[in-house]
Amino acid sequence: MLSTLIRRELLDNLMTFRFIATVVIMLLLVVANTFVLINDYDRRLEGYNAAVNSNHERMQERTTYSSVSWDVVRSPNLLSIFNVGLDKRLSNEIFVHHGFVPTLWDGQVHGSTNPLLNLFSSIDIVFIFQVVLSLMALIFAYDALAGERERGTLRLVLTHPVSRAKILLAKYISAMMCLLVPLLMSFLLVVILLTTSPIVSLKVDDFLRIGGIVLSSIAYLSVFYLIGLLISVITRRTSTALMLAMFVWGFLVLVYPNVILVAITSAEPSQERLVPAFNQIEQIWEEFDRERKDYLANDPIPGEDPHLGVAGGSGFNEIWHKAQSTLLYTYFAVSYVNKLDDEFEPRVPHVQNYYRTIEPKTIDAAERAWLVRKQALESVFFRPAIVDRIFLRFSPVGMYDAATQAWAGTDLFGLRDFYEATRKYRRTLIDYLYDKNAFGDRKWFSSDKGAVDWNSLPQFSFQRSDVHVNAKRALPDLLLMLMMNLILFMVIFLVFQRSEV
Amino acid sequence: MIWHITKRELYDNLNSLRFALATVLLFVLMLINAVIHVQEHPERMQKYHDATTASVSALRSRTDLFSIAQEGPGNLYKKPSPLYFCAEGGDIFLPDYVYGISRLQIANNLRAFWSLYYPGAFPNVFNVRPDTVKVDWGFVIGYVLSLITILFTFDSISGERERGTLRLMLSNSVPRHTVLIGKFLGALVSISVPFTFAILMNLSVISVSSDVHLGADAWIRLIIIFIIAILYLCLFIALGLLVSSSVQNSVTSLVILLLTWCVFVIFIPSTFASIASGFSSPMAYDEYFKRRNQNIKELKEEYVALLQETRGLPNKKIQIDSEYLAKGTEQEERLSQEQLTQQIAQIQLARSVTRISPVTLFQHLLEVFVGTGFERHQQFLDNVQRYAREYREFVTDMDRADPDSRHIIGVREGMSQKPVNPESIPAFEDEISLSRDFNDAAIDLFLLLLFFVVLVSGTYLRFISVEV
Amino acid sequence: MLETRDLTKVYNENVLAVNKLNLKVEDGEIYVVLGANGAGKSTTISMFLNFIEPTSGTALVGDIEIPKFPLEAKKHLAYVSENVELYRNFTARQNLSFFAKLGGRKKVSNDELDETLGRVGLAEEAFTRRVKTFSKGMRQRLGIAIAIMKDAQAVLLDEPTSGLDPKGGADFLNLLRQLKEEGKAIFMSTHDIFRAKEIADRIGILVQGNLERELTREEIQRENLEELYLHYVAGYEPEEEANE
């Protein structure tokens, strides 16, 4: 019985112009954009490799331990082809140093050739689905019930011993089968294009992630189909249903996601809330500076000069970085003396002692400042971003976007993993320095007795999160979509059950 | 007779669900737009005002010609448009200032003169909030209104044909073009009425607010923008009628129109821009800095080598200083200009390619007349460059006017020592002119009209020969 | 056998469409209900088919209460509407096969479909034509083919002959007689007095929801049906039924 209904629906749908037209347009869009996106990925990958190499070269030129710092580079995420999220936007190069805990706000952008290109919005595969799939689902659904009712075929069907639930189910299943054709074909095409591209190599995990994106797309599609079906069941006439469906589409896809954010942005994070945190951080560093100066004052060789008057083939550098807007407040002492005059030789142990005492204090101060900074920055920058995303979820578009970003690893959490990894790398760097007893070493500030050998320096590597972490992050939104499906289906069922034909 | 048909169309539309929904949607969007502008604009103006005041007062605090010549005018700021609410134009991705400061140290006591340097804007590096499109008129008209237009016109002919009323109508002695014009006007009036009221509401909210002042120039621009919006609307009505008269049933018509809309309005602007921008790759920042460092290094080496020869010849040294300073300054400015030119060429190519989409044409036009976006940015850069010449001429003129000066620009001892009247130093004032805007808009306006004419004649030919 | 017991339908709490209707259609009998527009004929048929729920009372097919067991009841009911609407993109054969399967048939052979289509008088070339090219008469024939195919105990017809040409109408009545011979209970609504007289075993006159008069075969022959009908209907202005 069900299969009879489904077969009829399928035949009816597959033969229509709307089906063929949408499939063709969708595939064209997907293929064209995949080429563009792969090219773009290629360019970004080149930029990444260039940045890694140039950083490596720069590192090799450094001769003293105190200049140990590493510009860590984030590689472009391959799955940003599906949903670019924050992957292209946030900083992709960050400075790692023992006296400074890196955060999202301290990064830079490497390899950008033309910042003006941001004038053009970028498209990813999920965006195409967001727009076209939802439209397609509504076009399929709006007349599913209203049309049959208007033509009278629904009456004829209902004179047969068929339950209404079965009719609904048949409509749902067959429409989903039809709608899945372009969806799966698109994904298949994208994957084929990806695997045949020489620059891309997909791993098993990536296939699983793509599978997650497919799953989310199906749930999204189904939500829109059911919205259309709901409209179809509550309206008497197809023309009304069509109008309503189109306006609902325009609202959910086009208007709501843009308007809601603008409307709630008036509650901008006020920079004033950063002031107390900045004062606190300032205190931490001033305290550090006081200790430092105390140490110098108590040293048998008097003076406030941390280099104790030592001079040589250039130079000593002390830098304070401050930026209130991102609570940046750091202290670097970098020395790269390559020629030390003999007259200063007796003072060298004092300098060694000084750095041996001060550098751990720098690390400590940096970490204490980081605790304050983290909290303040998260409350000012992260919380509004999270609130935004909650509001976006009132439209299925928001849920879909969030779920696919999570699968692709281009969401906020995926990006935070990178900054987390840089902080971990900083710890490794510090361990390395302690290990080499570097702070008290002559090579800390001077290379006159030989440069540091960097070969044993641990390298930075960033592994993106496991698939199950992606899944865990995507799950809430996926569940939300499934729940929405269920609720919609139940409402449609109840309304249809009670409606007169 | 036309009016008779129009009236019937109007009556039909005004009573429909789509009319009610469209009206509500337009009013809500326009209200949000106005409220946000009223909130944000004073801040924006204040920021510009503070920045320019600081810049000018720094400029006016200098009295000797040498430091005026060396330090330069400071940062030069772009004046925000009072009509920002009409088109945001991606302004956050365009830097709103140009550096006009001295950045290059040639030798220990030889610092190059100021030069123009064009920074990039990276507003999103720290921004973790989701992307949005600004709800400006460009969005409301370009996207929402065009979609509404499609929903108003997709069945205007195919629907009547389905119901059989078209046969009935044409069985009277009415020429077909009259029917077509009547339908066209009917759709135009029924969409432009809520649209016009929404715009009037929007403008009254904005102009009533005491913090935002719209001058006469702004009102003229608003009228031009309104006319362009109506033209854009007509284009979509013509498209709707064309498809509607070409196909047998309304659903097919709607599907064709919606897909066309999606492709032209949503996808083509971004996809084509991405493709076109792949054709060229301007100088990257890494390369810029590499070349700059290389240049400086060569310059320094040359300078130091020459300096050895001038030991004990102070006059010769001054000559050489002046020469190298000019070289260094020129070299700095040439490099940043080169980078900028390449960047602009890339954007211009991408923008030309995307002109295939009417929504891009419309947005270009809107931006030009509003005074935001890329064209405006180029105007700003022209203004800056003109001002830079003026400023440098001012320095040479002042120096030439002083008979005591040795007329060796670039060295303190070689230049006029007379104090300069701070008021006489030219200050940068960013200006926009309507006539220049028309110049910039000409191509886009022409293409939009062309689109319209092609669609209208297509619709006419189609409808004349259609079987009912 | 079709039966109603005090069948009542009130629309919007105050519009009485059908009032305590009691009637019975035996197997092998054609019952015709006559009435003006809005008399409650379609509402009665809709209640037989459970398209709408009765306000009170019940309707039965055999001994199955329709409002209580609608799915079971529909196995024994076939329906032909005033204007048979079918899936327009499907051929006559596809439509018939689809509805046959809906009626519970597992497999239907093309021969059987063609035979039924032939029986209702459709030309062979029309079997594989899309329904959207069909005339009204052809669609009505296809509608009765669907009813025949279902082989249900009772057949409900809602003004099936309106708008048919004389030949079509006559053919249609012949088909009805054949169904009657097979022992089906046939319930037909119409306002065509002459066709009613020609075919009915019994006639009910429905006026504003009330069954005013029931005539047996003999009475139909004896009385002047036309006068009788006008007598009952006169004085009552035909009204649009609010919810039909």
Question: Which DSSP state fits A81?
Answer: G
Q: Determine whether the interchain pair C51/A500 forms a contact, defined as Cβ–Cβ distance below 8 Å.
A: yes
Q: How confident is the model at residue A303 (pLDDT cuts 50, 70, 90)?
A: low
Beta-carbon contacts of C114 under 8 Å, excluding residues fewer than 6 positions away, are: C93, C124, C127
- B278 — pLDDT class (breaks 50, 70, 90): confident
3-state helix/strand/coil string of A310-347: CCECCCEEEEEEEEHHHCEEEEEEEECECCECHHHHHH
pLDDT number for residue C236: 45
pLDDT tens-place string over residues B392-401: 999 888 888 8
Buried/exposed B367-401: b ≥16 CB within 10 Å, e otherwise:
bbbbbbbbbbbebbbebbeebbeebbebbeebbee
Q: What is the 3-state secondary structure (H, E, C) of chain B?
A: CHHHHHHHHHHHHHCCHHHHHHHHHHHHHHHHHHHHHHHHHHHHHHHHHHHHHHHHHHHHCCCEHHHHHHHCCCCEECCCCCCCCCCCCCHHHCCCEEEEECCCEEECCEECCCEEECCCCCCCCCCCCCCCCCCCHHHHHHHHHHHHHHHHHCCCCHHHHHHCHHHHHHCCCCCHHHHHHHHHHHHHHHHHHHHHHHHHHHHHHHHHCCCCCCCHHHHHHHHHHHHHHHHHHHHHHHHHHHHHHHCCCHHHHHHHHHHHHHHHHHHHHHHHHHHHHCCCCCCCHHHHHHHHHHHHHHHHHHHHHHHHHCCCCHHHHHHHHHHHHHHHHHHHHHHHHHHHHHHHHHHHHHHHHHHHCHHHHHHHHHHHHHCCHHHHHHHHHHHHHHHHHHHHHHHHHHHHHCCCCCCCCCCHHHCCCCECCHHHCCCCCCCCCHHHHHHHHHHHHHHHHHHHHHHHHHHHHHHHCCCC
> What is the Cα–Cα distance from A232 to A247, expressed in whole angstroms?
14
Rounded to whole angstroms, the Cα distance separating C151 from A161 reads 13
* pLDDT score, position A66: 82
Distance CA A119, CA B346 (A): 12
CB B111 within 8 A of CB B125: no
Banded model confidence at residue C243, pLDDT cuts 50, 70, 90:
very low
What whole-number distance in Å separates Cα of residue A278 and Cα of residue C227? 101
The region of weakest confidence among A135-139, B11-15, C205-209 is B11-15
Chain A to chain B, count of Cβ pairs less than 8 Å apart?
191
**Average pLDDT score over chain A:** 86
Residue A338 sits at φ, ψ, to 5 deg, of -110, 0
Tell me what pLDDT residue A401 has.
94
> Residues near B466 by Cβ (< 8 Å), separated by ≥ 6?
B157, B245, B246
| Shortest distance, CA C104 to any CA of chain A (angstroms) | 7
CA distance C75 to B40: 69
Q: Does the pLDDT value for residue A244 go beyond 80?
A: yes
The band of A307, judged by pLDDT with boundaries at 50, 70 and 90, is low
Tokens of B411: 């060295």
Using alpha carbons only, give the angle B94, B96, B100 rounded to the nearest 5 degrees: 120
Whether B248 contacts chain A with CB within 8 A: no
**C133-168 pLDDT tens trace:** 888 888 888 988 988 888 889 999 988 888 788 888
Interface contact C72-A500, CB threshold 8 A: no
Is B25–A247 a contact, with Cβ atoms under 8 angstroms apart?
Answer: yes
H or E, element range at A73: strand A70-73
- Tokens for A153, please give them: 């075929």
In this prediction, residues B323-329 reach a mean pLDDT of: 86
Q: Please report which confidence band the pLDDT of residue A112 belongs to, taking 50, 70 and 90 as the band edges.
A: low
Both tokens of B399, joined, read 């120096």
Q: How far is A264 from chain C (nearest CA, A)?
A: 45
Report pLDDT digits (tens) over A248-301. 999 999 899 888 887 776 555 566 778 888 889 999 999 998 988 888 888 776
Q: Which of B154, B162, B255 to mutate to test the interface with A (most CBs of A within 10 A)?
A: B255
Report the chain A residue with the minimal C-alpha distance to residue B151: A243
Report whether B368 contacts B375 (CB < 8 A).
yes
pLDDT bin (cut points 50, 70, 90) of residue A499 is: confident
> Which pLDDT value is given to residue A266?
56
Q: Looking at the complex, does the CB of residue C229 fall below 8 Å from at least one CB of chain A?
A: no
CA distance C146 to chain A (A): 10
B327 burial class (0-12, 13-18, 19+ CB within 10 angstroms)? Answer: middle
Q: What is the pLDDT of residue C244?
A: 36
Handedness of CA C137, C142, C147, C149 (dihedral sign): positive
Q: How confident is the model at residue C239 (pLDDT cuts 50, 70, 90)?
A: very low
Is the predicted pLDDT of residue A80 greater than 80, yes or no?
yes
Dihedral, B375, B76, B128, B141 alpha carbons, nearest 10: -30
Instruction: For residue C241, name the pLDDT band (cuts at 50, 70, 90).
Output: very low
Taking only the tens place, the pLDDT of each residue in A48-61 is 988 888 888 888 88
**Confidence band of A137 (pLDDT split at 50, 70, 90):** very high
Query: pLDDT tens digit string along B430-449?
Result: 888 888 888 889 999 999 99
Average pLDDT over residues B141-145: 94
How confident is the model over B77-98, as a mean pLDDT?
89
**pLDDT tier for residue A310 given thresholds of 50, 70 and 90:** low
Residue type for position C53: E
d(CA C106, CA A489): 29
pLDDT of residue A308: 63
Digit-coded pLDDT (tens) for B149-170 = 999 999 888 888 887 778 777 7
pLDDT in tens, C19-60: 999 999 999 999 999 888 888 888 999 889 888 889 999 999
CB–CB contact A5 C102 (8 Å): yes
Are B125 and A143 inside 8 Å of each other by CB? no
A25 and B CB contact within 8 Å: yes
- The amino acid present at B78, given as its one-letter code, is K
- B120 within 8 A of A115, measured Cβ to Cβ: yes
Which pLDDT does position A313 carry in this prediction? 61
What pLDDT does A311 receive?
62
Chain C environment of A157 (Cβ under 8 Å): 99, 102
Helix (H) or strand (E) holding A245: helix A238-249
Percent of chain B predicted with pLDDT > 70 = 99
Nearest CA to A234 among A146, A320, A108, A147?
A: A146
Token representation of residue B392: 């440098």
Cβ within 8 Å, pair C98-A8: yes
Residue B421 distance to chain A (closest CA, Å): 36
Query: How many angstroms separate the CA atoms of A184 and A66, rounded?
Result: 55
Cα–Cα distance, A33 to A41 (Å, whole number) = 12
Q: What is the pLDDT of residue B244?
A: 93
Contact residues, chain B, for A250 at CB < 8 Å:
25, 144, 147-148
Query: What residues in A contact C99, CB-CB < 8 Å?
Result: 156-157, 160
Tell me whether chains C and B touch (3+ CB pairs under 8 A).
no
CA–CA gap between residue A264 and residue B35 (Å, rounded): 12
Interface mutation target, options B17, B127, B129, chain A, most CBs of A under 10 Å: B129
Confidence of residue A220 (pLDDT cuts 50, 70, 90): very high
What pLDDT is attached to residue B384?
A: 93
pLDDT of res. C242? 40
Chain A: nearest CA to C213, how far in angstroms?
A: 29
Average pLDDT of the residues of chain B = 88
- The full 3-state SS of chain C, as one line of letters, equals CEEEEEEEEEECCCEEEEEEEEEEECCCCEEEEECCCCCCHHHHHHHHCCCCCCCEEEEEECCEECCCCHHHHHCCEEEECCCCCCCCCCEHHHHHHHHHHHCCCCCCCHHHHHHHHHHCCCCHHHCCCEHHHCCHHHHHHHHHHHHHHHCCCEEEEECCCCCCCHHHHHHHHHHHHHHHHCCCEEEEEECCHHHHHHHCCEEEEEECCEEEEEECHHHHHHCCHHHHHHHHHCCCCCCCCCCC
B343 chain-A contacts, CB cut-off 8 A: 113-116
Residue from A156, A167, A171, A499 whose CB has the most chain C CBs within 10 Å, to mutate: A156
Structure tokens at B101: 């400061």
Q: State residue C237's pLDDT score.
A: 45
> What is the predicted pLDDT for the residue at C240?
44
Q: What ipTM, to 2 d.p.?
A: 0.88
